[in-house]
Structure 1
Amino acid sequence: MPRPKSPPRLQRRADRPTDAERAAGIVRYNWVIRDGDKYVRTGCAEADRSEAERKLAEYLGEKHDPVHRNSASAELEIADILNVYGREKGPDTARPAETASALLRLDAFWGKMKASDILGPTCRAYTEHRGRPAAARRDLEVLRAAVKHYKREYGMEAEPVFTLPPKSIPRERWLTRDEVAKLVWVCYRSKGNDKRLHLVRFILIAVYTGTRHDAILRLQWMPNTTGGWADLQSARLYRRPALTRETKKRTPTIRIPDRLLAHMRRWKKQDQGILNVIHYQGRAIGRLEKSFRSAREDAGLGEDVIPHALRHTAITWLMQAGVNINEVSGFTGVTTEELQRTYWHHSPDFHSSIATARMSRKPRI
């Protein structure tokens, strides 16, 4: 009977010596991964065992095939489901970095469990482990999407049922024009050369267009594959990177409002070759919660004023101005159903026919 094949493992092997080392009798050892008759170099010296073990773990992860077609949920590891989703769908999600972070958190808690272990008690245990119900819900939605993707692509005998925390109450905080003016003013008058000018740009783009936080930060002056871009000649704002598909978080192309267009033309002249519309001394900005929080405090606004509140503000102002709901939907990327549910009461047309209706004194029977 042939001997069973040993799994991939680390092995110490003498490296090829230089002429000087050979003359001096010096022998250097490195770690290699032995996989049957194959040897894979790790680039790790003998003293660097921990790094060699990390390289071995990476090798095993690449070698392992997470796909098990038409498996029973009791046999299918959640780690494999997350692995497949991260590899096949993660890069195409609306926020790949946030999806990757969620997959890591999920794997730390669920990775060693089977798909059949996704039950009400374990979902509630994860919610308690995560700490905040809203954050747990977002993570569990990623896990549910991963399970659905796996079943759709490779089959699964029984799809687990998820128990998610209830949705959080939607934020309805929007800013008045005086509050926005105060926020912009404290940014202009902050100490230090152009300390908060990037915030001024962010605030104005947000309240004039209702564009999402991350989409604004990725805007550039030229077409690119990482974010949208502003075409000032045609007054168009392309909010989606070139050669990318639309996602559930819609980012339609829009016409730049005239007042904002004047600002943006001035900004581009000031930038002189800088690519990003929102930047700090020429450097791109990933997130701006800290600087926004500081400006908000200086303006005397409450903690409920967050960057996303500016998107609510833009939509609310459009509804208050009586703009047609279909135009608002096409401009902001919000569905008409969501507009009716969350913002319609701001419109001057809200229940207008009821307000002006003349009721008969004697109801007809």
Structure 2
Amino acid sequence: MSGRKPKPPRLHLRERDGRSSIWVVLDRGREVSTGCSEEDARGAEDRFKEYLAGKHVSTVGTRDFTQLSVADVLTFYASAKRPSEGAAEKTIRRYNEMVAFTETLNEWWGAKFVSDIRGETCRHYVDWRTSQPLRRAKSAAALKKRVSTATARRELEVLRAAVNLYHAEFTLPSVPKITLPEKSVPRDRWLTRSEVAVLLWACLGWRRDASTGRWSKIQTEGIRKQTRTRRAHISRFILLGLYTGTRHEAIERLQWHANVDGGWIEIERGLIYRRGTGERETKKRRPPARIPHRLLPHLERWLQIDLANQTADGKPIRHVIHTSTGEGLSTPIRTGWEGIRSDAGLGDDVVPHVLRHTCVTWQLQAGVLPWEVAGAVGMTVEQIENGYGHHSPDYQKASASAFSRGGKA
């Protein structure tokens, strides 16, 4: 016997004399037709998944990583991390995001064994993922975009966590190393005051031509009014992010009163609490902060508007950022943001997180001390100095003036 390990089941396009090609499943010398033509690759993938599900025998519990299926490791991980009944909305949302990652990982890794995990296969996975279009893309321009390396890295981190959890439970003889792609260079993108202005104008139902700088109303007056209503929550989002530097996920969960799932705003004391009473502190720090004076009148006005209205089912409006029906956001603000960014004539580098960069940059440019900025936005002084220090008017000032003191070089 050669001792060669048999190949896992796989799809193969079988050419046929005088007839069109057809997708088949090859499995240890056996050939099973999917009934799908060459053009129906998606249907062939579905038949392949059904075939695997029909013949699959769970390998969970084995310590032999040459026989341990990656698909079973991911399933074990998803089952172990399932939230308990009554878990916080944030916990459920993060779990669903993780499950989506495992489903994507399964598309490429599912038919492989844990022993197949090595640097080469990890790099091939990154190449495969970054060649795929964005699944949430809707516009023609967005359809041309591809999955980022950062997304592929995040998915491989989930794979690493799944393997480590399995090892902690069943003790593998050795744990394969998941090779991650390098982290992308942090953005040094921040908004000018004129760019913030055009974003807010777009929230009001105006569109700017990036080439001429001219503004026009979005279609008819009726549509413009509807657009303003739909985008009112994004103008709140922009001002909160700009003046407080709060991360966009935390802004989306802000409420008017104390709660366990997210932060809240206490206008009477002039404070914003970024973390719910039932949430633990993480590496992404969310300390309380003083509400800036320019933001306070906006918050007072928004509160009066929300107190005078109700949700669609007659309940009080709880969330600071909410839909036109008064309900909290069920999905991230990303889609609405992209529409406003397009109408404002700004580039793809203007993402929601740029508001946090802008908040820090503007404070440093105004001469605020790094330790005060760090405390206000929830960063360390080292992060401020290393990532934003060059925006301070005093940046390397002493060093630059050292040669003007009459000393000899």
| TM-aligned CA distance change 1:247 to 1:75, over 3 Å | farther
| TM-aligned CA distance change 1:162 to 1:268, over 3 Å | same
| TM-aligned CA distance change 1:306 to 1:152, over 3 Å | same
Q: Distance in 2 between matches of 1:324 and 1:84?
A: 48
Deviates more, 1:304-313 or 1:326-335: 326-335
Q: Distance in 2 between matches of 1:146 and 1:303?
A: 33
Q: Distance in 1 between matches of 2:360 and 2:169?
A: 38
Q: Is it true that 1:362 corresponds to 2:408 in the alignment? A: yes
* Structure-2-length-normalised TM-score: 0.66
The answer (yes or no) to whether the contact 1:220–1:276 under 8 Å persists in 2 is: yes
Q: Which of the two has higher C-alpha Rg?
A: 1
Q: Distance in 1 between matches of 2:64 and 2:253?
A: 43
Match of 1:334 among 379, 382, 397: 379
Q: Distance in 2 between matches of 1:144 and 1:206?
A: 33
- What is the DSSP-based 3-state SS (H/G/I as helix, E as strand, rest coil) of the residue aligned with 1:246? coil
State the match for 1:317 in structure 2.
Answer: 362
The answer (yes or no) to whether the contact 2:257–2:266 under 8 Å persists in 1 is: yes
State the match for 1:130 in structure 2.
Answer: 129
| TM-aligned CA distance change 1:246 to 1:72, over 3 Å | farther
CA RMSD of aligned residues (A): 2.8
The answer (yes or no) to whether the contact 1:144–1:162 under 8 Å persists in 2 is: yes
How far residue 253 of structure 1 moved from its aligned partner, in angstroms, is 2.2
* Structure-1-length-normalised TM-score: 0.74
Q: Distance in 1 between matches of 2:365 and 2:61?
A: 52
| TM-aligned CA distance change 1:225 to 1:78, over 3 Å | farther
Q: Distance in 2 between matches of 1:151 and 1:254?
A: 42
How far residue 219 of structure 1 moved from its aligned partner, in angstroms, is 1.3
State the match for 1:118 in structure 2.
Answer: 117
The answer (yes or no) to whether the contact 1:78–1:111 under 8 Å persists in 2 is: yes
| TM-aligned CA distance change 1:80 to 1:333, over 3 Å | farther
- What is the DSSP-based 3-state SS (H/G/I as helix, E as strand, rest coil) of the residue aligned with 1:74? coil
| TM-aligned CA distance change 1:150 to 1:347, over 3 Å | farther
The answer (yes or no) to whether the contact 1:322–1:348 under 8 Å persists in 2 is: yes
- What is the DSSP-based 3-state SS (H/G/I as helix, E as strand, rest coil) of the residue aligned with 1:168? coil
Q: Distance in 1 between matches of 2:94 and 2:380?
A: 20
The amino acid across from 1:122 in the alignment is: T
The answer (yes or no) to whether the contact 2:101–2:158 under 8 Å persists in 1 is: yes
Q: Distance in 2 between matches of 1:76 and 1:283?
A: 45
| TM-aligned CA distance change 1:98 to 1:339, over 3 Å | farther
Q: Distance in 2 between matches of 1:232 and 1:352?
A: 39
Match of 2:185 among 148, 157, 169: 169
Match of 1:157 among 154, 160, 173: 173
The amino acid across from 1:347 in the alignment is: S
Q: Is it true that 1:283 corresponds to 2:283 in the alignment? A: no
Map residues 23-172 of structure 1 onto 2, 5 A cutoff: 66=60, 71-89=63-81, 95-131=94-130, 132=147, 133-152=149-168, 154-172=170-188
State the match for 2:87 in structure 1.
Answer: none
- What is the DSSP-based 3-state SS (H/G/I as helix, E as strand, rest coil) of the residue aligned with 1:305? coil
Match of 1:351 among 368, 393, 396: 396
How far residue 123 of structure 1 moved from its aligned partner, in angstroms, is 0.6
State the match for 2:215 in structure 1.
Answer: none
State the match for 1:4 in structure 2.
Answer: none
State the match for 1:180 in structure 2.
Answer: 196
The amino acid across from 1:308 in the alignment is: H
Structure 1 unaligned blocks of 5 or more: 1-53
How far residue 72 of structure 1 moved from its aligned partner, in angstroms, is 4.6
Q: Distance in 2 between matches of 1:94 and 1:351?
A: 44
Q: Distance in 1 between matches of 2:82 and 2:192?
A: 38
Total equivalences in the alignment? 302
| TM-aligned CA distance change 1:65 to 1:77, over 3 Å | closer
How far residue 334 of structure 1 moved from its aligned partner, in angstroms, is 2.6
Q: Distance in 2 between matches of 1:93 and 1:338?
A: 30
The answer (yes or no) to whether the contact 1:318–1:328 under 8 Å persists in 2 is: yes
The answer (yes or no) to whether the contact 1:320–1:346 under 8 Å persists in 2 is: yes
The answer (yes or no) to whether the contact 2:60–2:68 under 8 Å persists in 1 is: no
Q: Distance in 1 between matches of 2:82 and 2:379?
A: 23
Q: Distance in 1 between matches of 2:267 and 2:116?
A: 54
Q: Distance in 2 between matches of 1:227 and 1:178?
A: 32
* Cα deviations by residue, 1:274-294 (Å, 9 ceiling, x for unpaired): 111111211322222232222
* Percent of paired sites with the same residue: 45
How far residue 152 of structure 1 moved from its aligned partner, in angstroms, is 4.2
Q: Distance in 2 between matches of 1:160 and 1:214?
A: 33
State the match for 1:205 in structure 2.
Answer: 240
Q: Distance in 2 between matches of 1:263 and 1:342?
A: 30
How far residue 67 of structure 1 moved from its aligned partner, in angstroms, is 5.1
The answer (yes or no) to whether the contact 1:67–1:84 under 8 Å persists in 2 is: no
How far residue 96 of structure 1 moved from its aligned partner, in angstroms, is 3.3
